[in-house]
Amino acid sequence: MTRKTIAVLLVAVCGLAAGLYAIQRGGVRQRVVVADLTDSLDQAERRPAAATFDVAPLTIGTEAHRAISTPGASRITWELMLPDNALIEVAVALKPEAWTLEGDGVLFRVGIAEGRTHEDLATRLVNPHGQADDRRWIPLSIDLGAYSGFKLSLFYHPRRLKWRLVFNTNAGSPGSTDSRGDLPLWGDPRVLGSGSK
């Protein structure tokens, strides 16, 4: 093989690899909202089952969100197929009336499950009584690229799987049972993506 042939082959392989990577990552297409999780709250599994999960607009500072209010210790699970290039966007906060109540805050956790597997994707302790900077909506943006879109694999096809998105709240620090001031809010939870679900 000549050097020129080798160079042409290398350019072709690099171009193919770049093209496959662009397809896998959803190309340069803009992400759009494909699932407003607040709209599908009635279809979600909610724990504790007898608890009230209210939805109402809430402004904190100058930022407004349609908020899901949950008990201090709670879990909401949505089941859905993920779009290509998937991303979760949500804001977390505690109700303003909790800011002056003693306590150790609330631990917010977002995870993903399929079958018997579960993985925490993001955790955030929110303690507005102890941390003045937590007296606001705190944005979380969680990349679901590993769980969505085309993959170069014989066995792993995330486009075909139904995923469980799990939103948990618990008393502040690990092992804590202090539920004082635990008034958590999930603001506008949604899934964004490019391409079809």
**11: Cβ contacts below 8 Å, ≥ 6 apart:** none
**Parallel, antiparallel or unpaired: strands 117-126 and 106-114:** antiparallel
Residue 187, pLDDT score: 98
| Stated pTM of the model | 0.80
pLDDT tens for the chain, 197 residues long, are: 776 555 445 444 444 444 444 444 444 468 899 999 999 999 999 999 999 999 999 999 999 999 999 999 999 999 998 988 999 999 999 999 999 999 999 999 999 998 788 999 999 999 999 999 999 999 999 999 888 754 444 444 455 578 899 999 998 877 788 899 999 999 999 999 985 44
Residue 16, pLDDT score: 46
Q: What's the pLDDT tens digit per position in 37-69? A: 999 999 999 999 999 999 999 999 999 999 999
Q: With b meaning 16 or more CB within 10 Å and e meaning fewer, what string describes 15-38?
A: eeeeeeeeebebeeeebeebbebb
Question: Residue 54 forms beta bridges with which residues?
Answer: 69
Residue 6, pLDDT score: 55
Q: Which fold has domain 31-194?
A: Jelly Rolls (2.60.120)
**9: Cβ contacts below 8 Å, ≥ 6 apart:** none
Residue 149, pLDDT score: 55
Residue 157, pLDDT score: 44
**Parallel, antiparallel or unpaired: strands 32-36 and 117-126:** unpaired
Residue 116, pLDDT score: 80
